[in-house]
Amino acid sequence: MGDQERYVCEACGKSFDSEEELRRHVYAVGLVE
- pLDDT tens by residue, 1-33: 456 679 999 889 999 999 999 999 999 988 766
The residue range of the domain holding 4 is 1-33
* Residue 5: predicted pLDDT: 76
Contact 33, 24 (CB under 8 A): no
Predicted pLDDT of residue 32: 66
- Per-residue confidence (pLDDT) for residue 2, from 0 to 100: 56
Number of domain units in the chain: 1
pLDDT of residue 1: 47
Report CA-CA distances (Å) from 14 to 17, 19, 32, 33: 11, 13, 16, 20
Can you give the pTM of this predicted structure? 0.68
